[in-house]
Chain A
Amino acid sequence: MKRSILFGRYLVAILFAVVIVQMGCKRETGYYNTSSVVSGTSLNTYEYLKSKPGVYDSLLFLINKFGMQKYLTDSTVTLFAPSNASFQLAIANLNTARKSQGKNAVYLNDLSAGGKGLVAGSLVKDKAIADSAHLDTMVSRYIIRKQYLSSDFAVGDGQTIYSVRGGYPMHGLRVFGDAEGFQGGGVEVIEFANTKRSLFVTRWSKTTTTSVNIKTKNGYIDLLRPDHVFGFDEFISRLTLVPPPPVIFDYKNDVLFPKWTDGSVTDGQVSAGETFKKCLDGSVLTKFICPQSLTNFVYMYWIPKKVDKITGVVSDDPRVCNAYTMTSANDSKLYKGRDPKAFRLEGLTDAPNPAIVPPATVPSTDPWVITPKSSINDGVWVTLDTRQDQDWTTNYQQKLYEFANTKAYRAYRLIILQKGTTTEAYFQISEWTMNYRKLQ
């Protein structure tokens, strides 16, 4: 009997000790059940931004400038709000890029001005107008049509959402952050992506939010991380790129064809898929390749045409042209010898000049000529532009050549006189355009 009591005492003591030890080892609960800090506000989205001075001033500045207040006050929208830090980063990046080109620094105020006060029609004005349009585009991508909660992005791969202006496809996906080393154990955030209209997720540019689902009167606000760079990765390229003047090819009606001094050469004889039309298809990925030598020039003809809407009659349509571009091909780096080195642009005058015999290099019978009037043999070829020793350094490199011209010619031709090296048998380019820059 005594013995069992003793055992009982031990048992109680052990249990007691175990309870104490257990209590001492209580686990922490972790941070993964966080609730959102800001749940809602009685303001509308625009007023909410205004109520945070020093945080969203840049965004508000642009919204005011581009007249987007109405979306944030009346329409039902979801706003992914980039803070001032995002704009600072973007502007700093732009200005380092500008500095390396020896240009002065610019800020949102200059960029959004839209060329106010500049001379109309000047190049600078055009650029300023384009800059503010680009900013408008970039801002509008943060304002999304309809209301979305983070839970709306929880299923599968999330969902595509559309920007308020232009309906540009953006994408949202709910993910969980990490907490205390627990992967996916943190708060819920939205991965907000610029899809660049691509199906391939690897090409998207993504960022994430810090806080989500802030309810306002007319929608939700999600706050973006301060290290997000405004404009995703497009900010600098949009604001520094100077595109060539507009192309004036009318691909539907114009007549475009190649010829060679050596009449036996045919288009596509080097590679059946890499014909002349590949340099007119708007894709640098495909190219035109053909034989060329010092005794066998390549002639690239362009005869502008128009079609009468009523009668359907095709006739010549002389156009003014003062620029042209060429783009090197996909493997120009490897075959530098195939790049155009020296070339001449010629325009065909209207009045036939019997004194000048058509160059012997052009065959007299031309299957491409549609009307007798536009026969390329009854005018005079006038040299408009000549270039020598052009050096192409890489693949897909576009070069713009401008020249002074105010006259509309019936036809143009670009003659490739010399390519990179004489030892190389072929000439190649991926794109050729004729352009027209509005005169100031």
Chain B
Amino acid sequence: MKKIILLSLSFIVILAGSCKKQLDVDSTRVVNEVHYWNSLEDARAAIMGVYGLTRAALAENNGHWIYGDVRMGNFVSPNRQDLQAVVKNDLNASYPVLNQLENWRRFYAIINSANIFLERIKEVKAQDARYTENNMNVDVAQVRFLRAFAYFYMVRIWGDVPFITSSRDGTFENRPRTDQNAILEFVQSEMEASALVLPYLYSSGDVQQAGDYYGQSSGRWSGALATKLTAYAMLSHVAAWQGKYADVVRYSRIVLTDFGKSGLSYITTDVLCSAQGIFYTNGATGGNNNQLFGFGFVYSYQDASFTGNLESLALAAPVVNKNVPDIYVPKDSILSIFKETNDGRFNIDSTGATHGYNNKDMYFTNFLGRYPIFNKVKVILSGENDPSFRLYSSTILLTRLEDVTLLRAEAYAVLGETALAVNDLNTIRQRRYNVDQVGLVNSSATDYVAYSQAKHGVVLEAIFKERQKEFMGEGDHFYDRVRYEKIKQNNPQFMQLINSGGIYWPISRDILAQNPLLTQNSYWK
């Protein structure tokens, strides 16, 4: 009997133990550093890795939108206490999501992989004749741009951050924080340098990028990689964040003059809000050039995701099968933001009926229900109308032509060139305020509600109000607000926040424990 029990125990161990086997297998696909940096394929994998890490850094915990849209923004959360804490700027609240968002580790992953790339890419050049000088130059420019972008993004969130520009042979020594202005100078010069080298389009016979880039045609790369105009567009952002508005004009002028060369165009309200619009990338027929700087989750490349997109936060019934959205814009906020008539994005008539472009729901749907659903970004599966499967494939979009146009308008307004600012503002208004009271589109392109000071207030305020509407849900709002308050300097509460570092995020406790050279942002001590 004893033996039977013992035997059966050992069989249990065998039966139960067998489940684990698969987890212990070493991956056969990972190449260690010794055998890396040999071929063209290694270079391709490495540069795609930098892009991938950047996308992961933005998408993790839906950080891009929580940093940009949820924080002191238009949205509120009906059921998530952690998001409600972000809305109230109570960032020291102890929630796992907040703690992870306070952690900059994932941005240093980008920087580290970029540093390694820049140090070792020469080895590929030396060993693989297929890897041309031109290919390397373009790759290096992209990686330098992405590294600079990661720093820019971090500086906007944490202010001063440790500044690391070499891999130091894999040792991660502790570094103190570097002044953010110095980092921004670096970011600007790096981006400028890469902008000179980057092509307007990939695999499209650009003089700066000959032939098919890594053997793929232009459709594969459009909207996916950083182009010359991506760099100049982000440079406009960097300059605007520093308050260098003359530079903003200089950079944005290049984008707004040459946008045709990169296949960019101004989009209609319909394209802005439809399921297969600006946030959608079609892998089969080629990407989306209008995504001036975006990180796609392309459905046809099996890349769609359940999280890491605005949809997972903002969508709910009746668009998808989910009862309550994580974030929504309250009705009175919607009405106070979209006050203007003839707006194709959102329009309400005296009977409470809502009308969007072509009398369809654009920014908001279910307005009369319990929660108005922010419906602008809704790429379900490959842009379908199927509410049952919550798999999304929208692009994380960091800038687009409209963004650059309004940035230049802002710069002109600050510099006192009101007429030019109005011009740029009207370029956008022409495409948004071109519907009648029931949302039908005016037949003439010149038939729209142009800016007028009497109706829309001072031009600078009109521009920022326009930004608030146009880029709602694109992770821009908080930074726009900071720039606005810095220009106006008339809101003592917010100025106090700016001056005491309250516009930055606290640094994660995990990082402070690891690195004694760091000190917490003064506001969050």
Contacts and interface: CB of A to CB of B under 8 A. Distances in A.
B352 interface: yes
Given A229-B369, A394-B436, A97 B351 contact: yes
B368 A233 contact: yes
B370 A97 contact: no
B353 interface: yes
A15 to B, nearest CB: 8
A14 interface: yes
A10 B350 contact: no
24 contacts: A9-B4, A10-B7, A12-B4, A16-B4, A16-B8, A17-B9, A17-B11, A17-B12, A21-B12, A21-B15, A97-B352, A100-B348, A178-B321, A229-B369, A236-B368, A237-B351, A237-B352, A240-B351, A333-B442, A333-B443, A334-B443, A336-B443, A393-B437, A394-B437
Nearest to A238: B351
Contacts of A362: none
Nearest to B6: A13
Given A17-B8, A333-B442, 7 more contacts: A14-B8, A18-B15, A97-B348, A99-B335, A101-B350, A227-B323, A333-B436
B7 A89 contact: no
Contacts of B323: 227
A393 B341 CA distance: 13
Interface in A206-235: 227, 229, 233
B440 A227 contact: no
B277 to A, nearest CB: 23
A211 to B, nearest CB: 17
A241 interface: yes
Given A14-B11, A16-B8, A99-B335, A21 B16 contact: yes
B331 interface: yes
Contacts of A229: 368-370
Interface string A1-20: 00000000110111011101
A99 B350 CA distance: 10
Given A17-B15, A20-B12, A240-B351, A96 B332 contact: yes
B387 to A, nearest CB: 12
Interface residues of B, number: 29
Contacts of A16: 4, 8
B3 interface: yes
Nearest to A226: B370
Query: Taking each of B16, B370, B443, which has the highest tally of chain A beta carbons within 10 Å of its own beta carbon?
Result: B370
Contacts of A236: 351-353, 368
Contacts of A21: 12, 15-16
Given A14-B11, A236-B368, A93 B436 contact: no
B495 interface: no
Interface string B298-330: 000000000000000000000001010000000
A241 B443 contact: no
B450 interface: no
Nearest to B332: A96
A269 B331 CA distance: 50
B438 interface: yes
Nearest to B335: A100
A13 B11 contact: yes
Nearest to A103: B350
Interface string A84-112: 00000100111011011100000000000
A395 interface: yes
A20 B8 contact: yes
Nearest to A336: B443
A14 B321 CA distance: 46
Given A16-B4, A89-B370, A227-B369, A97 B350 contact: yes
Interface of B: 3-4, 7-9, 11-12, 15-16, 321, 323, 331-332, 335, 348, 350-353, 368-370, 388, 436-438, 440, 442-443
B360 to A, nearest CB: 15
Contacts of B350: 97, 101, 240
Nearest to A14: B11
Query: Taking each of A99, A333, A336, which has the highest tally of chain B beta carbons within 10 Å of its own beta carbon?
Result: A333
Closest 5 pairs (CB-CB, A-B): A236-B352, A97-B352, A13-B7, A17-B11, A394-B436
A94 B352 contact: yes
B467 to A, nearest CB: 22
Contacts of A10: 7
A336 B388 CA distance: 43
B437 to A, nearest CB: 6
B331 A96 contact: yes
Contact of A96 (B15, B335, B369, B438): B335
Contacts of B368: 89, 93, 229, 233, 236
A413 B59 CA distance: 68
Contacts of B348: 97, 100
Contacts of A9: 3-4, 7
Contacts of B436: 333, 393-394
A240 B353 CA distance: 11
Query: Taking each of B11, B332, B368, which has the highest tally of chain A beta carbons within 10 Å of its own beta carbon?
Result: B368
Interface string A364-407: 00000000000000000000000000000111000000000000
Given A14-B11, A96-B335, A237 B353 contact: yes
A18 to B, nearest CB: 8
Given A9-B3, A241-B351, A92 B8 contact: no
A18 B11 CA distance: 9
A141 to B, nearest CB: 17
A21 B17 CA distance: 12
A299 to B, nearest CB: 30
B454 to A, nearest CB: 19
A368 to B, nearest CB: 37
Nearest to A100: B335
A207 to B, nearest CB: 10
A240 B369 contact: no
A240 B368 CA distance: 14
Given A13-B11, A17-B11, A394 B353 contact: no
B45 to A, nearest CB: 37
Nearest to A241: B351
Nearest to A183: B388
B4 A227 contact: no
A93 B7 contact: no
Nearest to B439: A394
Given A21-B12, A333-B443, A395-B440, A240 B4 contact: no
A96 B372 CA distance: 13
Contacts of A17: 8-9, 11-12, 15
Interface in A136-171: none
B440 A394 contact: yes
Contacts of B438: 394-395
Contacts of A394: 436-438, 440
Nearest to B336: A100
A334 B348 CA distance: 22
Contacts of A20: 8, 12
A96 to B, nearest CB: 5
A282 B16 CA distance: 77
A98 B321 CA distance: 31
Contacts of B369: 89, 227, 229
Nearest to A395: B440
Contacts of A336: 443
A9 B386 CA distance: 57
A237 B349 CA distance: 10
Nearest to B447: A336
Nearest to A8: B4
Contacts of B442: 333
